[in-house]
Amino acid sequence: MASAASDGPVIRPMTGAKLILAAIIIGLGNFLVVLDTTIANVSIPTIAGSLGVSPSQATWVITSYAVAEAITVPLTGFLARRFGGLRVFITSYIAFGAISILCGLSPTLGMLIAGRVLLGLAGGTIIPLSLTLLLRIFPPEKATVGTIIWAMTTTVAPIAGPILGGIISDNIGWEWIFFINVPLAFAGGLGLIYLMRGQPDPVAKAKVDGVGLGLLIVWVGALQIMLDEGRNLDWFASAEVRLLAVVAAIGFVAFLIWELTEKEPIVNLRVFRHRGFVAASLTYSAAFGAFFATVVLIPLWLQQNMGYTATWAGYATGIMGILAVFSSPLIGKAAEKIDPRLIVFVGVMGLGAIAAWRTGFTPDITFGQMAWPMLLTGPFLMMFFIPVTGLCISSVENHEQADAAGISNFMRTVAGAFAAALVQTGWNNAGRENQAELVGAMTQDRATLDTMMADGTSQEAATAMLTGMVQGQSTMLATLDMFAMLAICFAFAAMLIWLVPKPKGPLDMSGGH
Protein backbone atom coordinates (compact mmCIF):
# COMPACT_ATOMS: atom_id res chain seq x y z
CA MET A 1 0.00 0.00 0.00
CA ALA A 2 1.36 3.38 -0.92
CA SER A 3 2.05 5.54 2.04
CA ALA A 4 4.15 8.26 0.59
CA ALA A 5 1.54 10.76 1.35
CA SER A 6 1.74 9.95 5.00
CA ASP A 7 5.45 10.57 5.16
CA GLY A 8 5.19 14.02 3.56
CA PRO A 9 3.91 17.27 5.06
CA VAL A 10 0.56 17.29 6.77
CA ILE A 11 -1.96 20.04 7.44
CA ARG A 12 -0.44 22.62 9.77
CA PRO A 13 -2.28 23.48 13.00
CA MET A 14 -4.17 26.78 12.90
CA THR A 15 -4.72 29.49 15.49
CA GLY A 16 -7.05 32.32 16.39
CA ALA A 17 -10.19 33.23 14.50
CA LYS A 18 -9.08 31.24 11.49
CA LEU A 19 -9.00 28.06 13.58
CA ILE A 20 -12.43 28.74 15.10
CA LEU A 21 -14.05 29.42 11.73
CA ALA A 22 -12.44 26.37 10.06
CA ALA A 23 -13.52 24.13 12.95
CA ILE A 24 -17.13 25.39 12.73
CA ILE A 25 -17.22 24.81 8.96
CA ILE A 26 -15.75 21.30 9.19
CA GLY A 27 -18.10 20.39 12.05
CA LEU A 28 -21.03 21.77 10.06
CA GLY A 29 -20.17 19.46 7.15
CA ASN A 30 -20.34 16.44 9.44
CA PHE A 31 -23.58 17.73 10.99
CA LEU A 32 -25.30 18.08 7.59
CA VAL A 33 -24.34 14.57 6.44
CA VAL A 34 -25.40 12.87 9.69
CA LEU A 35 -28.56 15.00 9.82
CA ASP A 36 -29.59 13.65 6.41
CA THR A 37 -29.64 10.09 7.77
CA THR A 38 -32.78 10.90 9.81
CA ILE A 39 -34.29 14.14 8.51
CA ALA A 40 -36.34 12.34 5.84
CA ASN A 41 -37.71 9.67 8.19
CA VAL A 42 -40.82 11.55 9.36
CA SER A 43 -41.34 13.06 5.88
CA ILE A 44 -41.88 9.74 4.08
CA PRO A 45 -45.72 9.92 4.08
CA THR A 46 -45.56 13.48 2.70
CA ILE A 47 -43.02 12.53 0.03
CA ALA A 48 -45.07 9.46 -0.95
CA GLY A 49 -48.23 11.52 -1.35
CA SER A 50 -46.46 14.23 -3.35
CA LEU A 51 -44.81 11.80 -5.77
CA GLY A 52 -47.80 9.47 -6.07
CA VAL A 53 -46.22 6.35 -4.60
CA SER A 54 -46.88 4.15 -1.58
CA PRO A 55 -45.12 4.86 1.75
CA SER A 56 -43.30 1.49 1.51
CA GLN A 57 -41.88 2.51 -1.87
CA ALA A 58 -40.90 5.91 -0.51
CA THR A 59 -38.81 4.32 2.28
CA TRP A 60 -36.16 3.71 -0.39
CA VAL A 61 -35.40 7.41 0.03
CA ILE A 62 -33.90 6.42 3.40
CA THR A 63 -32.43 3.08 2.35
CA SER A 64 -30.66 4.39 -0.76
CA TYR A 65 -28.85 7.07 1.23
CA ALA A 66 -27.83 4.63 3.97
CA VAL A 67 -26.48 2.06 1.48
CA ALA A 68 -24.45 4.61 -0.50
CA GLU A 69 -23.04 6.19 2.63
CA ALA A 70 -22.14 2.83 4.17
CA ILE A 71 -20.20 1.89 1.02
CA THR A 72 -18.25 5.15 0.85
CA VAL A 73 -17.25 5.53 4.51
CA PRO A 74 -14.67 2.70 4.58
CA LEU A 75 -13.19 3.93 1.27
CA THR A 76 -12.17 7.22 2.85
CA GLY A 77 -8.60 6.18 3.61
CA PHE A 78 -7.95 5.15 0.00
CA LEU A 79 -9.56 8.30 -1.43
CA ALA A 80 -7.57 10.52 0.95
CA ARG A 81 -4.29 8.88 -0.09
CA ARG A 82 -5.14 8.94 -3.79
CA PHE A 83 -6.53 12.47 -4.11
CA GLY A 84 -5.63 14.22 -0.84
CA GLY A 85 -7.84 14.28 2.23
CA LEU A 86 -8.48 18.03 2.17
CA ARG A 87 -9.29 17.99 -1.55
CA VAL A 88 -11.71 15.06 -1.13
CA PHE A 89 -13.43 16.74 1.82
CA ILE A 90 -13.98 20.08 0.06
CA THR A 91 -15.12 18.40 -3.16
CA SER A 92 -17.58 16.21 -1.26
CA TYR A 93 -18.82 19.22 0.72
CA ILE A 94 -19.68 21.27 -2.38
CA ALA A 95 -21.05 18.20 -4.20
CA PHE A 96 -23.34 17.54 -1.22
CA GLY A 97 -24.90 20.96 -1.73
CA ALA A 98 -25.24 20.56 -5.50
CA ILE A 99 -26.82 17.11 -5.26
CA SER A 100 -29.23 18.37 -2.59
CA ILE A 101 -30.66 20.70 -5.25
CA LEU A 102 -31.34 17.71 -7.50
CA CYS A 103 -33.05 15.86 -4.64
CA GLY A 104 -35.33 18.79 -3.85
CA LEU A 105 -36.26 19.27 -7.52
CA SER A 106 -36.96 15.57 -8.16
CA PRO A 107 -40.34 15.13 -9.91
CA THR A 108 -40.33 11.32 -9.57
CA LEU A 109 -39.38 8.76 -6.93
CA GLY A 110 -36.76 7.24 -9.25
CA MET A 111 -34.97 10.55 -9.65
CA LEU A 112 -35.15 11.23 -5.91
CA ILE A 113 -33.66 7.82 -5.09
CA ALA A 114 -30.87 8.36 -7.63
CA GLY A 115 -30.17 11.74 -6.03
CA ARG A 116 -30.09 10.20 -2.56
CA VAL A 117 -27.58 7.59 -3.75
CA LEU A 118 -25.31 10.36 -5.03
CA LEU A 119 -25.87 12.30 -1.82
CA GLY A 120 -24.79 9.29 0.25
CA LEU A 121 -21.69 8.77 -1.89
CA ALA A 122 -20.69 12.40 -1.42
CA GLY A 123 -21.48 12.45 2.29
CA GLY A 124 -19.82 9.17 3.20
CA THR A 125 -16.30 10.63 3.03
CA ILE A 126 -17.24 13.72 5.03
CA ILE A 127 -17.98 11.83 8.27
CA PRO A 128 -14.50 10.32 8.87
CA LEU A 129 -12.54 13.09 7.13
CA SER A 130 -14.21 15.74 9.28
CA LEU A 131 -12.74 14.00 12.33
CA THR A 132 -9.21 13.67 10.92
CA LEU A 133 -9.22 17.28 9.64
CA LEU A 134 -10.42 18.62 12.99
CA LEU A 135 -7.61 16.77 14.73
CA ARG A 136 -5.08 18.18 12.27
CA ILE A 137 -6.07 21.86 12.38
CA PHE A 138 -5.98 22.04 16.18
CA PRO A 139 -2.58 22.27 17.90
CA PRO A 140 -1.65 18.93 19.57
CA GLU A 141 -2.42 20.26 23.04
CA LYS A 142 -5.96 21.19 21.92
CA ALA A 143 -6.71 18.16 19.75
CA THR A 144 -9.37 17.03 22.22
CA VAL A 145 -11.42 20.11 21.28
CA GLY A 146 -11.59 18.76 17.72
CA THR A 147 -12.92 15.46 19.01
CA ILE A 148 -15.53 17.28 21.11
CA ILE A 149 -16.80 19.21 18.07
CA TRP A 150 -17.01 16.04 16.01
CA ALA A 151 -18.70 14.05 18.78
CA MET A 152 -21.30 16.76 19.37
CA THR A 153 -22.21 17.09 15.69
CA THR A 154 -22.36 13.31 15.25
CA THR A 155 -24.66 12.74 18.22
CA VAL A 156 -26.88 15.83 18.04
CA ALA A 157 -27.56 15.65 14.27
CA PRO A 158 -29.54 12.37 14.19
CA ILE A 159 -31.62 13.63 17.11
CA ALA A 160 -32.31 16.97 15.41
CA GLY A 161 -33.18 15.28 12.09
CA PRO A 162 -36.73 14.09 12.89
CA ILE A 163 -37.56 17.40 14.61
CA LEU A 164 -36.43 19.53 11.66
CA GLY A 165 -37.90 17.07 9.16
CA GLY A 166 -41.32 17.22 10.80
CA ILE A 167 -41.37 21.00 11.13
CA ILE A 168 -40.17 21.60 7.57
CA SER A 169 -42.51 19.04 5.98
CA ASP A 170 -45.54 20.26 7.92
CA ASN A 171 -44.97 23.98 7.39
CA ILE A 172 -42.91 24.53 4.22
CA GLY A 173 -42.68 21.42 2.05
CA TRP A 174 -40.62 18.22 1.93
CA GLU A 175 -38.32 19.65 -0.77
CA TRP A 176 -36.81 22.00 1.80
CA ILE A 177 -35.37 19.17 3.88
CA PHE A 178 -32.86 19.01 1.00
CA PHE A 179 -32.74 22.68 0.01
CA ILE A 180 -31.56 23.73 3.48
CA ASN A 181 -28.29 21.89 2.77
CA VAL A 182 -27.51 24.00 -0.28
CA PRO A 183 -26.41 27.40 1.08
CA LEU A 184 -24.66 25.83 4.07
CA ALA A 185 -22.71 23.29 1.99
CA PHE A 186 -21.71 25.81 -0.68
CA ALA A 187 -20.66 28.38 1.91
CA GLY A 188 -18.77 25.74 3.88
CA GLY A 189 -16.90 24.32 0.91
CA LEU A 190 -15.95 27.72 -0.50
CA GLY A 191 -15.02 28.95 2.96
CA LEU A 192 -12.61 26.05 3.44
CA ILE A 193 -11.02 26.71 0.06
CA TYR A 194 -10.21 30.20 1.35
CA LEU A 195 -9.21 29.25 4.89
CA MET A 196 -7.08 26.22 3.95
CA ARG A 197 -5.26 27.76 1.00
CA GLY A 198 -1.55 27.06 1.17
CA GLN A 199 -2.04 23.99 3.36
CA PRO A 200 -0.25 20.86 2.08
CA ASP A 201 -2.49 18.10 0.78
CA PRO A 202 -0.11 15.27 -0.20
CA VAL A 203 -1.22 12.42 -2.44
CA ALA A 204 0.24 9.05 -3.31
CA LYS A 205 -0.06 6.97 -6.42
CA ALA A 206 -2.38 4.10 -5.66
CA LYS A 207 -3.88 1.51 -7.95
CA VAL A 208 -7.65 1.28 -7.84
CA ASP A 209 -8.52 -2.09 -6.34
CA GLY A 210 -11.48 -2.77 -8.62
CA VAL A 211 -12.17 -6.25 -7.29
CA GLY A 212 -12.11 -5.07 -3.68
CA LEU A 213 -14.40 -2.16 -4.52
CA GLY A 214 -16.84 -4.45 -6.33
CA LEU A 215 -16.96 -6.92 -3.44
CA LEU A 216 -17.44 -4.08 -0.95
CA ILE A 217 -20.39 -2.71 -2.91
CA VAL A 218 -21.97 -6.17 -3.18
CA TRP A 219 -21.78 -7.27 0.45
CA VAL A 220 -22.44 -3.89 2.08
CA GLY A 221 -25.33 -3.17 -0.30
CA ALA A 222 -26.88 -6.59 0.28
CA LEU A 223 -26.48 -6.30 4.05
CA GLN A 224 -27.95 -2.80 4.30
CA ILE A 225 -30.93 -3.63 2.08
CA MET A 226 -31.54 -6.83 4.08
CA LEU A 227 -31.58 -4.86 7.34
CA ASP A 228 -33.86 -2.15 5.96
CA GLU A 229 -36.31 -4.50 4.22
CA GLY A 230 -36.23 -7.42 6.66
CA ARG A 231 -38.98 -6.09 8.92
CA ASN A 232 -41.32 -5.48 6.00
CA LEU A 233 -40.69 -8.93 4.51
CA ASP A 234 -40.84 -10.95 7.77
CA TRP A 235 -37.10 -11.56 7.75
CA PHE A 236 -35.97 -15.07 6.86
CA ALA A 237 -39.47 -16.19 6.01
CA SER A 238 -38.85 -14.22 2.81
CA ALA A 239 -36.83 -15.71 -0.05
CA GLU A 240 -35.55 -12.23 -0.89
CA VAL A 241 -34.11 -11.71 2.59
CA ARG A 242 -32.50 -15.16 2.57
CA LEU A 243 -30.90 -14.41 -0.79
CA LEU A 244 -29.60 -11.06 0.44
CA ALA A 245 -28.16 -12.72 3.55
CA VAL A 246 -26.33 -15.33 1.48
CA VAL A 247 -24.96 -12.69 -0.90
CA ALA A 248 -23.82 -10.53 2.03
CA ALA A 249 -22.12 -13.45 3.80
CA ILE A 250 -20.32 -14.79 0.73
CA GLY A 251 -19.40 -11.28 -0.39
CA PHE A 252 -18.00 -10.43 3.04
CA VAL A 253 -15.81 -13.54 3.22
CA ALA A 254 -14.54 -12.99 -0.33
CA PHE A 255 -13.88 -9.32 0.49
CA LEU A 256 -11.83 -10.23 3.57
CA ILE A 257 -9.74 -12.79 1.70
CA TRP A 258 -9.10 -10.44 -1.21
CA GLU A 259 -8.27 -7.35 0.85
CA LEU A 260 -5.90 -9.23 3.18
CA THR A 261 -3.95 -10.66 0.26
CA GLU A 262 -4.04 -7.65 -2.10
CA LYS A 263 -0.89 -5.49 -2.21
CA GLU A 264 -2.84 -2.24 -2.47
CA PRO A 265 -6.28 -2.93 -0.92
CA ILE A 266 -8.98 -0.34 -1.25
CA VAL A 267 -9.79 -0.74 2.48
CA ASN A 268 -6.79 -0.96 4.79
CA LEU A 269 -7.79 -3.85 7.04
CA ARG A 270 -4.28 -3.90 8.46
CA VAL A 271 -5.36 -1.36 11.08
CA PHE A 272 -6.89 -4.33 12.89
CA ARG A 273 -3.38 -5.41 13.87
CA HIS A 274 -3.59 -2.76 16.61
CA ARG A 275 -5.27 -4.28 19.65
CA GLY A 276 -6.30 -0.87 20.92
CA PHE A 277 -8.10 -0.06 17.68
CA VAL A 278 -9.94 -3.39 17.65
CA ALA A 279 -11.15 -3.10 21.24
CA ALA A 280 -12.03 0.61 20.98
CA SER A 281 -13.93 0.20 17.71
CA LEU A 282 -15.85 -2.81 19.08
CA THR A 283 -16.80 -0.79 22.16
CA TYR A 284 -17.75 2.10 19.89
CA SER A 285 -19.97 -0.16 17.76
CA ALA A 286 -21.66 -2.05 20.58
CA ALA A 287 -22.45 1.00 22.71
CA PHE A 288 -23.55 3.13 19.76
CA GLY A 289 -25.77 0.30 18.51
CA ALA A 290 -27.54 0.17 21.88
CA PHE A 291 -27.85 3.97 21.96
CA PHE A 292 -29.18 4.16 18.41
CA ALA A 293 -31.71 1.43 19.18
CA THR A 294 -32.89 3.59 22.09
CA VAL A 295 -33.44 6.69 19.95
CA VAL A 296 -35.31 4.55 17.40
CA LEU A 297 -37.49 2.81 19.99
CA ILE A 298 -38.55 5.79 22.10
CA PRO A 299 -40.15 7.87 19.30
CA LEU A 300 -41.96 4.76 18.02
CA TRP A 301 -43.31 4.03 21.47
CA LEU A 302 -44.32 7.65 22.08
CA GLN A 303 -46.20 7.91 18.79
CA GLN A 304 -47.84 4.48 18.73
CA ASN A 305 -48.55 4.00 22.43
CA MET A 306 -48.52 7.41 24.11
CA GLY A 307 -50.30 9.55 21.52
CA TYR A 308 -47.40 11.90 20.76
CA THR A 309 -47.12 13.60 17.37
CA ALA A 310 -43.92 13.13 15.35
CA THR A 311 -42.80 16.65 16.26
CA TRP A 312 -43.35 16.16 19.99
CA ALA A 313 -41.66 12.77 19.89
CA GLY A 314 -38.71 14.59 18.33
CA TYR A 315 -38.73 17.18 21.13
CA ALA A 316 -38.80 14.37 23.70
CA THR A 317 -35.61 12.83 22.33
CA GLY A 318 -33.97 16.12 21.37
CA ILE A 319 -33.64 17.37 24.93
CA MET A 320 -30.74 14.98 25.49
CA GLY A 321 -28.62 17.41 23.49
CA ILE A 322 -28.94 20.18 26.10
CA LEU A 323 -26.60 18.79 28.76
CA ALA A 324 -24.51 17.07 26.08
CA VAL A 325 -23.45 20.49 24.78
CA PHE A 326 -22.66 21.95 28.20
CA SER A 327 -20.83 18.88 29.52
CA SER A 328 -18.63 18.26 26.48
CA PRO A 329 -15.83 20.75 27.34
CA LEU A 330 -15.55 19.36 30.88
CA ILE A 331 -15.42 15.78 29.62
CA GLY A 332 -12.81 16.75 27.03
CA LYS A 333 -10.61 18.24 29.75
CA ALA A 334 -11.09 15.18 31.94
CA ALA A 335 -10.05 12.89 29.06
CA GLU A 336 -6.67 14.65 29.02
CA LYS A 337 -6.01 13.85 32.69
CA ILE A 338 -7.93 10.68 33.58
CA ASP A 339 -7.61 7.20 32.06
CA PRO A 340 -9.97 7.52 29.07
CA ARG A 341 -11.01 3.90 29.47
CA LEU A 342 -12.49 4.75 32.87
CA ILE A 343 -14.43 7.69 31.40
CA VAL A 344 -15.82 5.47 28.62
CA PHE A 345 -16.73 2.78 31.15
CA VAL A 346 -18.61 5.22 33.40
CA GLY A 347 -20.35 6.79 30.39
CA VAL A 348 -21.57 3.51 28.92
CA MET A 349 -22.59 2.13 32.31
CA GLY A 350 -24.47 5.39 32.90
CA LEU A 351 -26.37 4.86 29.64
CA GLY A 352 -27.13 1.32 30.82
CA ALA A 353 -28.40 2.62 34.17
CA ILE A 354 -30.73 5.03 32.37
CA ALA A 355 -32.04 2.16 30.23
CA ALA A 356 -32.69 0.22 33.46
CA TRP A 357 -34.41 3.30 34.92
CA ARG A 358 -36.79 3.30 31.96
CA THR A 359 -37.95 -0.24 32.80
CA GLY A 360 -40.01 1.43 35.53
CA PHE A 361 -42.02 3.55 33.07
CA THR A 362 -45.82 3.22 33.19
CA PRO A 363 -48.53 4.05 30.62
CA ASP A 364 -49.45 7.23 32.54
CA ILE A 365 -45.92 8.65 32.61
CA THR A 366 -45.79 12.41 32.06
CA PHE A 367 -43.51 14.30 29.67
CA GLY A 368 -41.58 15.68 32.64
CA GLN A 369 -41.02 12.24 34.19
CA MET A 370 -39.75 10.95 30.88
CA ALA A 371 -37.59 14.03 30.29
CA TRP A 372 -35.26 13.50 33.23
CA PRO A 373 -33.60 10.28 32.05
CA MET A 374 -33.45 11.72 28.52
CA LEU A 375 -31.80 14.90 29.78
CA LEU A 376 -29.22 12.95 31.79
CA THR A 377 -28.39 10.83 28.75
CA GLY A 378 -26.43 13.74 27.26
CA PRO A 379 -23.41 13.83 29.62
CA PHE A 380 -23.09 10.03 29.71
CA LEU A 381 -23.25 9.96 25.91
CA MET A 382 -20.39 12.46 25.66
CA MET A 383 -18.39 10.52 28.27
CA PHE A 384 -18.61 7.56 25.92
CA PHE A 385 -18.30 9.26 22.56
CA ILE A 386 -15.39 11.67 23.07
CA PRO A 387 -12.78 9.32 24.63
CA VAL A 388 -13.67 6.24 22.55
CA THR A 389 -13.26 8.24 19.34
CA GLY A 390 -9.87 9.40 20.55
CA LEU A 391 -8.84 5.84 21.46
CA CYS A 392 -9.75 4.61 17.95
CA ILE A 393 -7.63 7.28 16.29
CA SER A 394 -4.69 7.30 18.71
CA SER A 395 -4.28 3.51 18.56
CA VAL A 396 -2.99 3.56 14.96
CA GLU A 397 -0.07 5.14 13.14
CA ASN A 398 -0.35 8.69 11.84
CA HIS A 399 -0.73 7.64 8.19
CA GLU A 400 -3.52 5.22 9.15
CA GLN A 401 -5.78 7.79 10.80
CA ALA A 402 -8.08 8.25 7.81
CA ASP A 403 -8.39 4.46 7.50
CA ALA A 404 -9.11 4.09 11.22
CA ALA A 405 -11.71 6.87 11.15
CA GLY A 406 -13.39 5.39 8.08
CA ILE A 407 -13.47 1.79 9.31
CA SER A 408 -14.55 2.63 12.88
CA ASN A 409 -17.35 4.84 11.57
CA PHE A 410 -18.38 2.13 9.13
CA MET A 411 -18.58 -0.35 12.02
CA ARG A 412 -20.62 2.19 13.99
CA THR A 413 -23.00 2.70 11.06
CA VAL A 414 -23.52 -1.02 10.53
CA ALA A 415 -24.01 -1.57 14.26
CA GLY A 416 -26.66 1.15 14.29
CA ALA A 417 -28.46 -0.43 11.31
CA PHE A 418 -28.38 -3.86 12.96
CA ALA A 419 -29.59 -2.48 16.28
CA ALA A 420 -32.43 -0.48 14.72
CA ALA A 421 -33.65 -3.54 12.80
CA LEU A 422 -33.35 -5.88 15.79
CA VAL A 423 -35.03 -3.58 18.31
CA GLN A 424 -38.00 -2.89 16.03
CA THR A 425 -38.44 -6.59 15.26
CA GLY A 426 -38.03 -7.55 18.92
CA TRP A 427 -40.47 -4.84 19.98
CA ASN A 428 -43.15 -6.00 17.54
CA ASN A 429 -42.66 -9.68 18.41
CA ALA A 430 -42.72 -9.01 22.15
CA GLY A 431 -45.89 -6.96 21.71
CA ARG A 432 -47.67 -9.84 19.96
CA GLU A 433 -46.48 -12.37 22.56
CA ASN A 434 -47.53 -10.15 25.45
CA GLN A 435 -50.92 -9.56 23.87
CA ALA A 436 -51.48 -13.32 23.49
CA GLU A 437 -50.52 -13.88 27.12
CA LEU A 438 -52.76 -11.07 28.37
CA VAL A 439 -55.73 -12.36 26.38
CA GLY A 440 -55.11 -15.87 27.70
CA ALA A 441 -54.96 -14.58 31.27
CA MET A 442 -58.23 -12.63 31.00
CA THR A 443 -60.80 -14.84 32.70
CA GLN A 444 -63.25 -12.01 33.32
CA ASP A 445 -63.34 -10.48 29.83
CA ARG A 446 -67.03 -11.31 29.32
CA ALA A 447 -67.92 -9.84 32.68
CA THR A 448 -65.91 -6.70 31.88
CA LEU A 449 -67.77 -6.26 28.59
CA ASP A 450 -71.13 -6.78 30.32
CA THR A 451 -70.25 -4.13 32.92
CA MET A 452 -69.23 -1.63 30.23
CA MET A 453 -72.42 -2.27 28.24
CA ALA A 454 -74.49 -1.93 31.40
CA ASP A 455 -73.11 1.61 31.69
CA GLY A 456 -74.53 2.41 28.27
CA THR A 457 -71.58 1.54 26.03
CA SER A 458 -72.43 -0.38 22.86
CA GLN A 459 -70.97 -3.86 22.40
CA GLU A 460 -68.82 -2.68 19.48
CA ALA A 461 -67.45 0.28 21.43
CA ALA A 462 -66.86 -1.82 24.55
CA THR A 463 -65.01 -4.48 22.55
CA ALA A 464 -62.90 -1.82 20.84
CA MET A 465 -62.06 -0.19 24.18
CA LEU A 466 -61.08 -3.51 25.77
CA THR A 467 -58.99 -4.46 22.74
CA GLY A 468 -57.26 -1.07 22.86
CA MET A 469 -56.46 -1.51 26.54
CA VAL A 470 -54.93 -4.95 25.92
CA GLN A 471 -52.91 -3.68 22.97
CA GLY A 472 -51.69 -0.67 24.94
CA GLN A 473 -50.59 -2.81 27.87
CA SER A 474 -48.86 -5.36 25.63
CA THR A 475 -46.98 -2.60 23.78
CA MET A 476 -45.94 -1.01 27.08
CA LEU A 477 -44.64 -4.36 28.37
CA ALA A 478 -42.78 -4.93 25.10
CA THR A 479 -41.15 -1.50 25.44
CA LEU A 480 -40.01 -2.31 28.98
CA ASP A 481 -38.61 -5.64 27.75
CA MET A 482 -36.55 -3.80 25.14
CA PHE A 483 -35.24 -1.31 27.69
CA ALA A 484 -34.09 -4.23 29.85
CA MET A 485 -32.30 -5.83 26.91
CA LEU A 486 -30.62 -2.54 26.03
CA ALA A 487 -29.41 -2.15 29.62
CA ILE A 488 -27.70 -5.54 29.31
CA CYS A 489 -26.15 -4.54 25.96
CA PHE A 490 -24.73 -1.34 27.48
CA ALA A 491 -23.21 -3.32 30.36
CA PHE A 492 -21.56 -5.71 27.89
CA ALA A 493 -20.20 -2.82 25.82
CA ALA A 494 -18.79 -1.16 28.94
CA MET A 495 -16.70 -4.25 29.69
CA LEU A 496 -15.16 -4.28 26.21
CA ILE A 497 -13.27 -1.02 26.78
CA TRP A 498 -10.94 -2.70 29.27
CA LEU A 499 -9.48 -4.74 26.41
CA VAL A 500 -7.84 -1.53 25.18
CA PRO A 501 -4.23 -1.24 26.42
CA LYS A 502 -3.82 1.47 29.04
CA PRO A 503 -2.61 4.69 27.38
CA LYS A 504 0.86 5.68 28.55
CA GLY A 505 -0.21 9.28 28.91
CA PRO A 506 -2.87 11.71 27.68
CA LEU A 507 -4.48 10.66 24.42
CA ASP A 508 -2.36 11.79 21.47
CA MET A 509 -5.16 12.34 18.99
CA SER A 510 -3.11 14.70 16.87
CA GLY A 511 -1.12 11.97 15.22
CA GLY A 512 -0.27 8.42 16.01
CA HIS A 513 0.59 6.69 19.27
pLDDT tens profile 297-307: 887 788 777 87
Cβ neighbours of residue 423 closer than 8 Å, sequence gap 6 or more: 293, 296, 297, 482, 486
Number of compact structural domains in the chain: 3
Q: Average pLDDT of the chain?
A: 82
Question: Residue 354 belongs to what domain range?
Answer: 274-513
Where residue 455 falls among pLDDT bands split at 50, 70, 90? Answer: low
pLDDT on residue 170: 76
Residue at 269 is within a domain: no
The enclosing domain of 2 has a CATH number of 1.20.1250.20
Examine the domain organization and report whether 35 and 91 are in the same domain.
yes
For every residue of 88-119, DSSP letters joined together read HHHHHHHHHHHHHHHHHH--SHHHHHHHHHHH
pLDDT on residue 320: 81
Contact 392, 284 (CB under 8 A): yes
Secondary structure element (H or E) that encloses residue 265, with its range: none
Residue at 441 is within a domain: yes
Q: How far apart are CA 79 and CA 96, in angstroms?
A: 17
Candidate from 163-167, 182-186, 462-466 with smallest mean pLDDT: 462-466
- Rg of the chain in Å (alpha carbons): 24
pLDDT on residue 95: 95
Examine the domain organization and report whether 374 and 300 are in the same domain.
yes
Q: Which residue has the higher pLDDT, 3 or 407?
A: 407
Examine the domain organization and report whether 197 and 309 are in the same domain.
no
> For 373-412, how does the pLDDT look when each residue is reduced to its tens digit (9 = 90+)?
988 998 999 898 888 888 888 888 877 887 888 888 888 8
pLDDT on residue 487: 95
For every residue of 30-93, DSSP letters joined together read HHHHHHTTTTTGGGHHHHHHHHT--HHHHTHHHHHHHHHHHHHGGGHHHHHHHH-HHHHHHHHH
Examine the domain organization and report whether 168 and 26 are in the same domain.
yes
Last residue of a domain, one of 241, 263, 285: 263
The greatest distance separating any two alpha carbons of the chain, rounded to the nearest whole angstrom, comes to 86
Contact 260, 215 (CB under 8 A): no
* Mean pLDDT computed over 1-5: 37
Examine the domain organization and report whether 118 and 240 are in the same domain.
no
Last residue of a domain, one of 263, 290, 310: 263
pLDDT on residue 443: 52
Examine the domain organization and report whether 359 and 492 are in the same domain.
yes
Residue at 348 is within a domain: yes
Q: Which residue has the higher pLDDT, 309 or 334?
A: 334
Residue at 60 is within a domain: yes
Examine the domain organization and report whether 38 and 175 are in the same domain.
yes
pLDDT on residue 73: 82
Q: Which of 196, 190, 164 is nearest to 179 (CA)?
A: 164
> For 176-213, how does the pLDDT look when each residue is reduced to its tens digit (9 = 90+)?
999 999 999 999 999 999 988 877 777 777 677 788 88
pTM score over 0.85: no
Examine the domain organization and report whether 47 and 152 are in the same domain.
yes
Angle (CA) 176-61-151 rounded to 5° is 75
Residue at 111 is within a domain: yes
Examine the domain organization and report whether 131 and 197 are in the same domain.
yes
Q: How far apart are CA 198 and CA 272, in angstroms?
A: 34
Examine the domain organization and report whether 225 and 289 are in the same domain.
no
Last residue of a domain, one of 216, 244, 263: 263
- pLDDT of 414 above 90: no
Examine the domain organization and report whether 155 and 20 are in the same domain.
yes
pLDDT on residue 8: 46
Most confident of 41-45, 172-176, 186-190, 474-478: 186-190
Residue at 139 is within a domain: yes
Candidate from 51-55, 98-102, 356-360, 409-413 with smallest mean pLDDT: 51-55
pLDDT on residue 6: 41
Examine the domain organization and report whether 68 and 179 are in the same domain.
yes
